[in-house]
Amino acid sequence: MASIVVFFLSLAAGVATGQPSLLPPSPPPSRACDIPAIYNFGDSNSDTGGIAAAFYPPGPPSGETFFKRPVGRASDGRLIIDFVAEKLGLSYLSAYLDSIKADYTHGANFATGGATIRRVNESWFVNDVSPFSLDIQVEQFNQFKDRTIYLPEDFAKAIYTIDIGQNDIAYCFRTLGVEASRAAIPDIVNQFATSIQQLYGKGARAFWIHNTGPIGCLPVTYAKIHDPPRGYLDKTGCVAGQNVVATEFNKQLKAKVIQLRSDLAGAVLTYVDMYSAKYQLIANAKDQGFNKWSTICCGYHDSDEDVYCGNQGKINGTEVFAGSCKDPTKVISWDGVHYTEAANNWIAIHITDGSFSDPPFSILETCPNHISVS
C-alpha cells in the first residue's frame, strides 16, 4: 500500500473527458431477471477474503462496523459487492481461496487485494501486488466450474462482476512513468478483453464491468502533498494528473466493452462508470452527510511518516496504534485507499439502479437475452 503513495505523487496535472457510447442500448426487460449467482473478479475493492486466506489476514479494527470482527475485507464493514449481493437477494460471496465456512451455492469470489489485469514482476511482500492476476482468477473459475456438478444451468444465468485495473495503473507509474503508462493502456485493456472472452467461452453471458475509480483522490496520497504547484490539484483537491491516466484507461475500456458487445453473441455487457460515482461522492462529501473527503478513518499519514490501519508504529517519536475513528459512518475513506461501509453503501445504491451504467439499466435487469425474466 505504501508504494502506491510514493509513486502516485510523481504525476503531473491534467484533465480528460469520457467517451459516449457508440451503439444504442438494447431495450431492458420489463421485469427483474432471475439471477441465481454472482461470480466476481477483481482486486481489494471487491475482495471478501481471498488475499487474507492466501497470506496474512487483517486484524482489528477492520470489519468492526458490520461484521464486528475482521473478515478479510479492506473496510470497516461491507463492500460494494456485498451490497450488490443484497440487492440481488443472495448471500455474501465466499472467497474462492478461503476454505473456512465457504458457501458457493450462490457464486464465488475470485478477487484478491493487489490484483492486476496483466501479470507483473512484483511481489506481495514488496509492493502488495497479488500473484492472482485476472487471468489466474479466470483459470480458478474454470477449475471451479469444471469441478461443480450441481446446478450447472446457474453458470449461464449468473452475473459476472469485474472490478480491476487500478493496480495496473499504479504498477505502470512505478516502473514506466506517466507517458509510458498511457502507452501501456491498450495492452492492459486487450488482456482484460481476453479474460472476458474466456469467461464467455465457459458460458458466462451477463457481465457487470466497473471502470477504475479516481485514483488521484486517494486521501493517503493527498496527505503527502504540501505546497503543490499550480494545476497539480483539481478543484476538488485531487491530483489531476493521476486522474487523467485513470480517465484514459476508462475511455479505452469502454470502447473495448462496446466492441465486445458486437463480438459476443447473446452476451449482455454493462459498463459501470465507477469513476463518476465515486468522484460525485467525493466532490459533494459534505452535502451527502460525510466529513471532508480527504479524512482518513483508520491510520496515520503525513509527509514523512505512515502507520497503516491496524498497525503499531511511531508518529513524531510516539508509539501509536492506528485504530479507527469515532464514527466511520461520517467518513468516506476507511484507510486512505479503500472506502468505509457507509461510502460503499452510497456508491452501491447509485450504481445498482443504473444511474451510472451503459446501458442505463438496474443490475436487476442485467441478464442474458435468452434468460427469461420473472
Check 181, 273, 338, 357 and give the catalytic one: 338
Q: How many CB atoms lie within 10 A of CB 199?
A: 24
Question: In whole angstroms, what is the distance from residue 125 CA to residue 54 CA?
Answer: 12
Q: What is the 8-class DSSP label of residue 233?
A: B
* Active-site residue flag, 301: no
Q: Which long-range contacts (CB under 8 A, 24 or more apart) does 289-292 make?
A: 289/330, 290/330, 290/331, 290/332, 290/342, 290/343, 291/330, 291/331, 291/332
Question: Within 13 Å and on the Cβ side, how many CA atoms surround 211?
Answer: 32
Question: In whole angstroms, what is the distance from residue 341 CA to residue 66 CA?
Answer: 8
* Active-site residue flag, 44: yes
Question: Within 13 Å and on the Cβ side, how many CA atoms surround 311?
Answer: 14
Q: Which long-range contacts (CB under 8 A, 24 or more apart) does 281-286 make?
A: 281/332, 281/343, 281/346, 281/347, 282/214, 282/217, 282/236, 282/238, 282/332, 283/236, 285/332
Sign of CA dihedral 355, 360, 361, 366: negative
* Active-site residue flag, 335: yes
Chain-centre distance of CA 255, in angstroms? Answer: 19
Chain-centre distance of CA 34, in angstroms? Answer: 25
Question: In whole angstroms, what is the distance from residue 335 CA to residue 51 CA?
Answer: 17
Check 234, 335, 357, 358 and give the catalytic one: 335
Check 43, 44, 46, 357 and give the catalytic one: 44
How many degrees, rounded to 5, is the angle at CA 220 between CA 215 and CA 226?
A: 105
Q: Which long-range contacts (CB under 8 A, 24 or more apart) does 100-104 make?
A: 100/53, 104/144, 104/148
Kindly state the cell numbers that stand for 118.
Answer: 496483466
Active site residues: 44, 335, 338
